[in-house]
Structure 1
Amino acid sequence: MKRDIPKYKVISEEIIQKIESGEFQPGDKVPSENELIEMYCVSNTTARKSLLEVELQGWAKRIKGKGTFVLNRSEDRHLTRVLGPFHAVKESFNDNLIREGFTPKNIVLEKTILEDGISSNINNHHYIIKGPVLKIHRLRYADEVLLKDETRYISLTLCPKINMYDLDNRSLISMYENIYNIKLKNVERTLGNTILTSFDPKNYFENEIPMAVFVLDGAIFSDDGEIVEMEQSYYRGDKYKFSIIAKPQFSGEKHKS
Structure 2
Amino acid sequence: MIACTMQGHSIAVVMMMVCTAIATMSHAEAFGSSMSTGTRMLWAPQMKLRHQKRQNSAFGMEPVSGKQMQRRTISPLHMANTESEEEAAKSVALQSLQDDLKQRVVLDESEIPSLLVPYAKKLDELTGGWALQYADLSPATETSPQGVAFLATNAAYAWVGLILGIQGEFLLGGLVELAGAVSFWYHWSQLKYGTNRMEVRLALLTDYLTAGAALITGVLYCFTMGIQTLPLDVVLTGAAAIFCLGLSWVWEFGMPYLFWHSLWHIFSAMTGYLVGQAHLTTYPPMS
Q: Under a length normalisation based on structure 1, what TM-score does the superposition of the two structures give?
A: 0.23
Q: Under a length normalisation based on structure 2, what TM-score does the superposition of the two structures give?
A: 0.21
Structure in which a larger fraction of residues adopt strand? 1
Structure in which a larger fraction of residues adopt helix? 2
Structure exhibiting the larger radius of gyration computed from Cα positions: 2
